[in-house]
Amino acid sequence: MCSISVLILTLNEEANLAECLESCSWCDDIVVFDSFSTDRTPEIALLGGVRFFQRRFDNYAAQRNAGMTEVEYKHPWVLMVDADERTPMDLVAESQRRVAGADDGTVMFRMRRKDFFLGRWLRRSSGYPTWFGRLVRVGRVRVEREVNEEYIADGAIAYLEAHLHHYPFNKGIAYWYERHNRYSTMEALAQVQEAQAPWSMKSLMSADPIERRRALKRLAYRLPMRPGLVFLYWYVIRLGFLDGRAGLAFSSMRATYELFIDLKVLEADRRRSGAPV
């Protein structure tokens, strides 16, 4: 018996949506929350028999929060899935079992994701394992931060063993760069705002993986020659070279993304001081 609804955010996802919906066919309450796509995304959603809503995009946190608060769901739990993600049956089975046994104080389940590139799972160079708070009790979780969102739970958090499957290159490598150019702008603005946020070794040693990741990012943004260090970290220290050609390519792309962020932070600092860019 289904006890979980599904929320899918979309913007021009005709390359991904049909396969995503097929992977979610176990669910009897799928909501596509669209940002006024100009391709066949609305048509595919409606042909798929799902509920379809639209809202102008402003940022990722606001869009997810709106999807959670402006729609009435059939079930008390919602699994948030991106269009380029798939829900394998081991994740579905575990999710159904865990929410059925969850007490009233448990409001969110975190899960990991397998990223695929050039036909293989990027186990080492993708940052795995990164935990995402995607299975949430309606009304008990909010999303903060405009990009690389953080999920704030009003209650206890538990963890799932199974994984989402993620195909970030289904729309092509050029699109990945286009999207991460936008992400880097939002990330740079967030870094400027968070530059004075406190950092401590205690946070880096926290038992909470999200808190550890947040502290590690704050530390990393204080380091010189950060993009090169990012490449060395993912490709050498995290053994990304064992991911083969895909690991080399993805580690290089990650370093480029970090360079975009650093340059945009520098640009913002110079504009704020009145210096020419």
Category of 159 on φ-ψ map: left (φ > 0), alpha (ψ -120 to 50) or beta: beta
Q: Which CATH number fits domain 4-166: 3.40.50.300, 3.30.470.10, 3.40.50.1950, 3.90.550.10?
A: 3.90.550.10
What is each CA distance from 151 to 1, 155, 168, 181, in whole angstroms? 27, 12, 21, 23
Which pLDDT value is given to residue 84? 97
Model pTM?
0.84
Given a cut of 90, whether residue 199 has pLDDT beyond it is no
Cβ proximity of 192 and 265 under 8 Å: yes
Handedness of CA 85, 89, 93, 96 (dihedral sign): positive
Which pLDDT value is given to residue 271? 86
Stretch among 23-27, 179-183, 217-221, 265-269 having the lowest mean pLDDT:
217-221
Residue 94 confidence class, pLDDT cut points 50, 70, 90: very high
The strand pairing partners of 160, in sequence order, are none
Which pLDDT value is given to residue 216? 65
Q: What is the C-alpha to C-alpha distance for residues 126 and 240, in angstroms, rounded to an integer?
A: 8
Given a cut of 70, whether residue 106 has pLDDT beyond it is yes
Residue spans of the domains in the chain: they are 4-166, 173-273
Token representation of residue 139? 């009304």
Given a cut of 90, whether residue 277 has pLDDT beyond it is no
Given a cut of 70, whether residue 200 has pLDDT beyond it is no
The mean per-residue pLDDT over the stretch 200-209 comes to 69
Which pLDDT value is given to residue 214? 64
Given a cut of 70, whether residue 196 has pLDDT beyond it is no
